């Protein structure tokens, strides 16, 4: 950022909105009216609409010491679009509301919005409005996203049945390990006032934490194979928590197998470096934004044809409970130990 910084108070709310949204172009026919009116107007032509919203709060969900504002804007959109894809829907519109404290300049917010617009462009969603206000405690970002789908294609959490295969995209635990590296290096830097840390060895896990992606590719591959998941959820709070959501909503039990839970080599190396147990992190780490879903047993061959999906177990009768089975055959009951934003620890 060069030259004199713009004073947000001088711009005012409407001047700031104009600055941040001046280059937005609508991409979807359903977006009839976007930023600039009292409300956006959308027309979905008989499709089913899904709506989701998430709030990110400075000091709770992100730390600006190590989080670039551009990455933060991108991630704020992605975590919402991941929920849209988890319904087997396609994103259409995004609304962004922010609360800002006096430490933020217009240029800083432009950088945040660069990331927001980058994500909207990549996932072909329209930024159609939002709100801005002041804050006494840093930055708060609230995103609302809409998506559309044919009713027959919507995947809810409640549709799984006994013997359905339990599938997960990608790999798990990377985002949590990226956060651990960032927190560790920030603490060392703060306490020693030493040189900037060398993070080159942690590229994969840092990207998974700072700039995650929503798994639109998995949704597209499932569609190509004619597979509609019987249930689906995105892994934002940890595999164990999300799987138990599916079993509760579907009225089933489950069995998953430890050797089938996918962990990337880079993630495993960081776990070993920090003395952390890989399986515990993969089950409970959260923020991976991978897709956890179930499909009928007869879809096994088709699922195996799709790259990047692991079959980690199967749904059982509810009376059999929810268990994780080790390589030796012993079973341990699953408990939800993932992220809970309202718990103190």
Question: What pLDDT was estimated at residue 40?
Answer: 65
Give the span between the Cα atoms of 104 and 106, in whole angstroms.
7
Distance of CA 345 to the CA centre of its chain: 21
Q: Which of 27-41, 118-132, 214-228, 268-282 has the lowest mean pLDDT?
A: 27-41
**For 90-148, what is each residue's pLDDT tens digit?**
999 999 999 999 999 999 999 999 999 999 999 999 999 999 999 988 999 999 999 99
**For 61-98, what is each residue's pLDDT tens digit?**
999 999 999 999 999 999 999 999 999 999 999 999 99
Question: Could you tell me the CATH superfamily of domain 165-333?
Answer: PurM-like C-terminal domain (3.90.650.10)
Instruction: For residue 278, give the 3-state DSSP assignment.
Output: helix
For 216-244, the DSSP string reads HHHHHHHHHTT---SEEEE-SS-HHHHHH
The CATH number of the structural domain formed by 8-152 is 3.30.1330.10
For the question of whether the overall pTM of this predicted structure is more than 0.85, the answer is yes
Could you tell me if 57 and 140 are in contact, meaning their C-beta atoms sit under 8 angstroms apart?
yes
User: Around Cβ 13, how many Cβ atoms within 10 Å?
Assistant: 12
Could you tell me if 140 and 99 are in contact, meaning their C-beta atoms sit under 8 angstroms apart?
yes
Give, as one character, the DSSP assignment of residue 37.
B
The pair of three-digit structure tokens given for residue 38, joined into one six-digit string = 């009292």
- How does 130-161 read in b/e, with b if 16+ C-beta sit within 10 Å? bebeebeebbbbbbbbbbbbeeebbbbbebbe
Domain ranges of the chain: 8-152, 165-333
**For 259-282, what is each residue's pLDDT tens digit?**
999 999 999 999 999 999 999 999
**For 178-191, what is each residue's pLDDT tens digit?**
999 999 999 998 88
């Amino acid at each position: 950022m060069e030259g004199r910084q713009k004073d947000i108070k001088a711009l005012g709310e409407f001047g700031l909105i104009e600055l941040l949204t001046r280059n937005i172009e609508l991409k979807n026919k359903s977006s009839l009216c976007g930023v600039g009116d009292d409300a956006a107007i959308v027309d979905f032509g008989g499709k089913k609409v899904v709506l989701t919203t998430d709030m990110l709060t400075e000091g709770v969900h992100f730390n600006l010491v190590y989080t670039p504002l551009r990455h933060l804007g991108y991630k704020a959109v992605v975590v919402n679009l991941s929920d849209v894809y988890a319904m087997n829907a396609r994103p259409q519109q995004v609304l962004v509301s922010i609360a800002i404290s006096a430490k933020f300049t217009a240029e800083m917010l432009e950088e945040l919005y660069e990331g927001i617009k980058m994500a909207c462009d990549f996932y072909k969603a329209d930024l159609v409005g939002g709100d801005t206000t002041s804050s006494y405690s840093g930055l708060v970002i609230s995103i609302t996203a809409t998506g559309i789908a044919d009713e027959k294609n919507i995947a809810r959490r409640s549709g799984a049945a006994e013997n359905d295969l339990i599938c997960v995209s990608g790999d798990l635990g990377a985002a949590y390990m990226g956060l651990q590296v960032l927190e560790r290096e920030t603490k060392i830097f703060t306490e020693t006032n030493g040189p900037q840390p060398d993070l080159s060895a942690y590229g994969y896990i840092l990207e998974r934490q700072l700039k995650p992606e929503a798994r639109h590719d998995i949704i597209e591959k499932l569609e190509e194979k004619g597979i509609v998941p019987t249930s689906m959820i995105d892994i934002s709070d940890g595999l164990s928590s999300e799987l138990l959501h599916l079993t509760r909503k579907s009225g089933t039990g489950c069995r998953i197998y430890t050797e089938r839970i996918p962990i990337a080599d880079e993630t495993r190396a960081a776990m070993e470096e920090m003395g952390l147990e890989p399986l515990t992190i993969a089950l409970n780490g959260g923020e991976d934004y991978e897709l956890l879903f179930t499909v009928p047993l007869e879809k096994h061959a088709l699922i195996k044809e799709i790259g990047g999906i692991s079959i980690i177990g199967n749904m059982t009768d509810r009376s059999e409970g929810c268990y994780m089975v080790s390589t030796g055959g012993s079973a341990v009951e699953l408990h939800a130990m993932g992220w809970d934003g309202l718990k103190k620890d």
